[in-house]
Chains A and B, each alone.
Chain A
């Protein structure tokens, strides 16, 4: 290990793990001791990263309140220090951390809030996708319909949530009092996506969630119709599927039709 490597390791250990070894490598003066000087870096590190986490998860931060969120931020930082070049990426594992770590796992809605906000953040700066318009459906020959598959826009994210975190998030975003958290036995399906520059989210009925998941998995239109028979009479499924497709297109979620894989 070179001298420079050793110094950097000691300095980083001071900042990240508060190991004091580095103090011997630093000049203390009458103005400020070595430890005082190093502590500026150590404190700024926690403050900066927790603040960044709060920007990436504003709903969770407001919902937990400043002190509890600070505690969470430091605990998360200790377990998942940033390894990405962008601080925008800090918090990618927060939902998982909340779901598995005590005491947070006792409140599963916290992990769901983090997953929901991470989906919003992901949709916000996902790659731009040229979207189809409903008119594009008009040029498809009848024989092509059954074998048609769908490429979804890059911003589309699917979540299943047991709790009402989207409503809580929305209230916080509008500076209103959030509703009390509620949880249901069966999760509700949600999508988050961006149309042009605006990020949207909505819940899906069970049959729509199934159809969208099938479309995202690359199933052709005929297979989606067949699957929808579970919820609708066979003579109505084609119209039902076409209706869903039109909605997805007009919401700006479909990028392309494809006929071969």
Chain B
């Protein structure tokens, strides 16, 4: 295994913090190593969201995960939004801040979707420039997540993993690798998900996402409303073999089950990771 695992900050196994589970988390203090919180949900003046955020923060480390940075949009960056993100990160001492390698709208509109970028030199240059400015404002490195996609652009001249790697290297940012999204995009665009993982630079990856999805037959849609499927678990094992110890969490945003079901799913991830470690050590 690579030596990077010793220098990469590692939080263990986490879950997404959702309002349905605030009370359970606060009162039963489940065995979760950390929580990922959705940035925009806490960019509010006060009330319950911030109350629970700060109460739960007293017991768990947190990372922030945003959906509205729109780093690839040709619209100008929203500086006021970024300042608020920074202030929130300071107030909860977030371990890191992530968003997506995508765009969410132009001409002032927010479609609230994670739209893919064309894999072109022009797009790389545009994103690299924006990431540099974002990192200057935030005063820290940003994690960018690979999104699932349903289209590929005629204009694209490279693979998604080449695009992702080039952005990370040239902008000197980090990667949140969503294993399910790799699986979804591999299905939709008919490539081998393992060769994707095998070509992402190991030292750039700071966090993994796992999630469930919905298979429509002609496409897989990234819904986060179901348990992780076996082929994605297998891909996760492959990722652990390559990347070593990476903070891992499961995303569930719809049809949210009782907390203990998510804990059981997280334990499954723990078992896979420790099996891989045992296998590598042998």
Number of interface residues of B (CB under 8 A): 44
Interface residues on A, range: 35 or more
Chain B contacts to A: CB under 8 angstroms: 40-41, 43-51, 68, 73-74, 78, 81, 103, 105-113, 115, 117-118, 120, 122-123, 126, 150-155, 188, 190, 218-219, 221
Closest to A12 in B: B106
Chain B neighbourhood of A125, CB < 8 A: 44-50
Is the CB of A52 closer than 8 A to any CB of chain B? yes
Distance from A159 Cβ to chain B, minimum over Cβ atoms (Å): 19
Is the CB of A140 closer than 8 A to any CB of chain B? no
Is the CB of A194 closer than 8 A to any CB of chain B? yes
Within 8 A of B (CB), among A48-101: 48-49, 52, 81-88, 90
Q: A38-B151, A82-B109, A88-B44 are in contact. Are A2 and B122 (CB under 8 A)?
A: yes
Is A124 a contact partner of B106 (Cβ separation < 8 A)? no
Is A81 a contact partner of B109 (Cβ separation < 8 A)? yes
Chain B neighbourhood of A3, CB < 8 A: 120, 122, 155
Chain A contacts to B: CB under 8 angstroms: 2-5, 7-9, 11-12, 15-16, 24-27, 29, 31-32, 34, 36-38, 40-41, 44-45, 48-49, 52, 81-88, 90, 123-128, 154-155, 194, 197
Chain A neighbourhood of B152, CB < 8 A: 26-27
How would you classify the secondary structure of chain B's contact residues: helix, strand, loop or mixed? loop
Closest to A36 in B: B218
Chain A neighbourhood of B150, CB < 8 A: 32, 37-38, 40-41
Chain B neighbourhood of A84, CB < 8 A: 110
Is B106 a contact partner of A85 (Cβ separation < 8 A)? no
Chain B neighbourhood of A45, CB < 8 A: 111-113
Distance from A11 Cβ to chain B, minimum over Cβ atoms (Å): 7
Chain A neighbourhood of B51, CB < 8 A: 197
Q: How far is the CA of A198 from the CA of B111 in the complex (A)?
A: 32
Is B112 a contact partner of A7 (Cβ separation < 8 A)? no
Supply 30 A–B pairs (Cβ within 8 Å), ascending by A.
A2-B122, A3-B155, A5-B74, A7-B118, A7-B155, A8-B74, A8-B115, A9-B107, A24-B154, A26-B152, A32-B188, A34-B151, A37-B188, A37-B219, A41-B115, A41-B150, A44-B113, A45-B112, A82-B110, A82-B112, A83-B108, A86-B43, A88-B44, A125-B46, A125-B47, A128-B45, A128-B46, A128-B50, A194-B47, A197-B51
Is A26 a contact partner of B111 (Cβ separation < 8 A)? no
Closest to B221 in A: A40
Q: A2-B74, A36-B219, A85-B78 are in contact. Are A29 and B43 (CB under 8 A)?
A: no
Is B47 a contact partner of A124 (Cβ separation < 8 A)? yes
Which residue of B47, B110, B117, B218 is within 8 Å of A31 (Cβ)? B218
Is B109 a contact partner of A27 (Cβ separation < 8 A)? no
Chain A neighbourhood of B120, CB < 8 A: 3-4
Distance from A252 Cβ to chain B, minimum over Cβ atoms (Å): 13
Distance from A261 Cβ to chain B, minimum over Cβ atoms (Å): 24
Chain A neighbourhood of B113, CB < 8 A: 15, 41, 44-45, 48
Is B219 a contact partner of A31 (Cβ separation < 8 A)? yes
Chain A neighbourhood of B219, CB < 8 A: 31-32, 36-37, 40
Distance from A45 Cβ to chain B, minimum over Cβ atoms (Å): 6
Chain A neighbourhood of B109, CB < 8 A: 12, 16, 81-83
Q: A3-B120, A3-B122, A45-B111 are in contact. Are A29 and B190 (CB under 8 A)?
A: yes
Which of A26, A38, A40, A86 gathers most chain B CB within 10 Å? A86
Q: A25-B153, A32-B219 are in contact. Are A15 and B111 (CB under 8 A)?
A: yes
